């Protein structure tokens, strides 16, 4: 038994011994890393001296002129990089349209005692399927959505509007069933257009004076229940800056989703062609239409100046209005 114990080492040695092999020596040297540096002294300010700064340096790079020039160059490079980044980010963007550029404006979104200013570009509403003719018409349309807003005076004066074809109305003042534009007074003066239509409205006092039309059909319904609309206070109203001396295909004042109010609405010195005026769902204390020329050349037997029986009035005055063959071009 003892002999077996003594033989074990020899056995393992014989089985597991690696033949003589001399491996080359391996030497690992940890590099002695040293960050190059530049000592920088900043000037003292008011007797206070900032600490010395040590920043990395690069062999072979030299900027002449001292620390202030180095700082100036660094700031300049930073501004250039920032400017390039900003310009790249906003590339292709355009500023929102401002009143009264052709666009869609929502008076109902304007805070009381503030002005209508920024609108939505019509391009935002187009799709790839939008016809070119629709695009062209819309991009030259000025539309103000009142829908629930209370405004002071709205004045549209001295405009040239219209389009040779594809236009139904050059000016639309429209509401919807149960939704009205309620104004203390509406004045339409010295307007030239192919047609004028007033319907589905309630006017306390209707006055027609010195108009020329290629056919008149005026038949409002007298109704004692029509109210005198009074809007005088401008506190809390939305301010709509006057529109003057502009060119548009079409102007739309819409209140089709909620009733709206204004003190005075004035349409004056407007020259339109290709279409006329459409007034619908209006309530007014007084509506005056005066010194205007309306006609499409269809003849006086086919009236272009029309006030339908769906317009209810408390009082009606008509003086100096003349039918004459007229064609507005």
pLDDT (tens digit, 9 = 90+) per residue, 48-93?
A: 555 554 545 445 445 455 555 556 666 766 777 676 656 555 445 5
Mean pLDDT of all residues in 181-187: 98
**Percent above pLDDT 70 for the chain:** 73
Question: Cβ(176)–Cβ(257) under 8 Å?
Answer: yes
Is 21 a member of any domain? Answer: no
Q: Are residues 268 and 319 in the same domain?
A: yes
With CA atoms as reference, report the closest residue to 181 among 115, 231, 248, 250. Answer: 231
Mean pLDDT of all residues in 312-320: 98
Q: Residue 19's pLDDT is what?
A: 55
Q: Are residues 78 and 195 in the same domain?
A: no
Q: Residue 136's pLDDT is what?
A: 77
Q: Are residues 260 and 118 in the same domain?
A: yes
Q: Are residues 160 and 178 in the same domain?
A: yes
At residue 123, does pLDDT exceed 60? Answer: yes
Q: Residue 245: pLDDT band by 50, 70, 90 thresholds?
A: confident
DSSP code string of 135-162: HHHHTTEEEEE-TT-BBSEEEEES-EEE
Out of 74, 93, 112, pick the residue that ends a domain.
Answer: 93
Is 307 a member of any domain? Answer: yes
Q: Residue 285: pLDDT band by 50, 70, 90 thresholds?
A: very high
pTM attached to this predicted model: 0.71
Q: Are residues 108 and 145 in the same domain?
A: yes
With CA atoms as reference, report the closest residue to 287 among 321, 323, 316. Answer: 316
Q: Residue 24: pLDDT band by 50, 70, 90 thresholds?
A: low
Average pLDDT over the chain, rounded to whole?
83
At residue 94, does pLDDT exceed 80? Answer: no
Is 112 a member of any domain? Answer: yes
Q: Are residues 280 and 244 in the same domain?
A: yes
From 74-83, 201-210, 239-248, the region with the lowest mean pLDDT = 74-83
Q: Residue 201: pLDDT band by 50, 70, 90 thresholds?
A: very high
From 124-138, 200-214, 239-253, 304-318, the region with the lowest mean pLDDT = 124-138
Out of 65, 93, 121, pick the residue that ends a domain.
Answer: 93
Is 19 a member of any domain? Answer: no
Domain tally for the chain?
Answer: 2
Q: Residue 182's pLDDT is what?
A: 98
Q: Are residues 275 and 213 in the same domain?
A: yes
29 or 75, which is more confident? 75
Is 285 a member of any domain? Answer: yes
Q: How far apart are CA 249 and CA 163, in angstroms?
A: 6
From 1-10, 115-124, 134-143, 311-320, the region with the lowest mean pLDDT = 1-10
At residue 130, does pLDDT exceed 80? Answer: yes
Query: Which range marks the domain in which residue 107 is found?
Result: 103-323
Out of 56, 74, 93, pick the residue that ends a domain.
Answer: 93
Q: How many H helices and E strands in the chain?
A: 3, 23
For residue 4, the tally of other CB atoms under 10 A from its CB is 8
Q: Are residues 143 and 288 in the same domain?
A: yes
At residue 35, does pLDDT exceed 80? Answer: no
Q: Are residues 88 and 178 in the same domain?
A: no
Mean pLDDT of all residues in 236-245: 94
Is 7 a member of any domain? Answer: no
Q: Are residues 160 and 206 in the same domain?
A: yes
Q: Are residues 129 and 221 in the same domain?
A: yes
The highest-confidence range among 56-60, 128-132, 309-313, by mean pLDDT, is 309-313
pLDDT in tens, 5-23: 555 555 445 444 555 555 5
Is 238 a member of any domain? Answer: yes
Is 202 a member of any domain? Answer: yes
Q: Residue 129's pLDDT is what?
A: 84
Q: Residue 180's pLDDT is what?
A: 98
Q: Residue 88's pLDDT is what?
A: 52
Q: Residue 300: pLDDT band by 50, 70, 90 thresholds?
A: very high
For the chain, give percent helix, strand, coil, nearest 5.
15, 40, 45
Q: How far apart are CA 175 and CA 256, in angstroms?
A: 4
State both tokens at 277.
């005026």
Q: How far apart are CA 105 and CA 99, in angstroms?
A: 8
From 42-46, 261-265, 266-270, the region with the lowest mean pLDDT = 42-46
Q: Residue 21's pLDDT is what?
A: 52
Q: Are residues 257 and 176 in the same domain?
A: yes
């Amino acid at each position: 038994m003892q002999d077996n114990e003594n033989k074990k080492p020899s056995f393992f040695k014989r089985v597991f011994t690696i033949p003589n092999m001399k491996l080359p020596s391996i030497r690992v040297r940890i590099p002695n890393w040293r960050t190059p540096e530049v000592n920088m002294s900043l000037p003292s300010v008011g007797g206070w001296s900032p600490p010395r700064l040590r920043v990395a340096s690069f062999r072979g790079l030299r900027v002449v002129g001292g620390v202030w020039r180095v700082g100036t160059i660094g700031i300049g490079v930073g501004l250039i990089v920032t400017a390039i980044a900003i310009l790249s980010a906003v590339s292709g963007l355009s500023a929102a349209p401002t009143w009264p550029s052709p666009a869609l404006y929502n008076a109902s979104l304007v805070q009381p005692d503030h002005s209508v200013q920024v609108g939505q570009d019509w391009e935002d509403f187009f799709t790839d399927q939008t016809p070119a003719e629709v695009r062209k018409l819309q991009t030259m349309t000025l539309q103000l959505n009142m829908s629930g807003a209370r405004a002071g005076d709205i004045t549209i004066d001295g405009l040239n509007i219209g389009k040779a074809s594809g236009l139904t109305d050059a000016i639309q003042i429209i509401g919807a069933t149960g939704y009205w534009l309620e104004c203390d007074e509406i004045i339409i003066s010295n307007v030239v257009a192919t047609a004028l239509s007033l319907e589905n409205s309630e006017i306390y006092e209707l006055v027609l004076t010195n108009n020329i039309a290629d056919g008149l059909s005026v038949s409002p319904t007298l109704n004692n229940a029509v109210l005198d609309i009074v809007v005088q206070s401008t506190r809390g109203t939305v301010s709509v800056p006057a529109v003057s001396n502009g060119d548009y295909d079409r102007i739309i004042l819409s209140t089709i989703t909620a009733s709206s109010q204004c003190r005075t609405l004035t349409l004056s010195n407007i020259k339109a062609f290709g279409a006329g005026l459409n007034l619908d769902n209006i309530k007014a204390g007084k509506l005056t239409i005066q010194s205007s020329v309306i006609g499409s050349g269809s003849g006086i037997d086919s009236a272009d100046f029309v006030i339908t029986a769906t317009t209810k009035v408390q009082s009606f005055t008509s003086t100096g209005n003349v039918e004459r063959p007229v064609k507005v071009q």
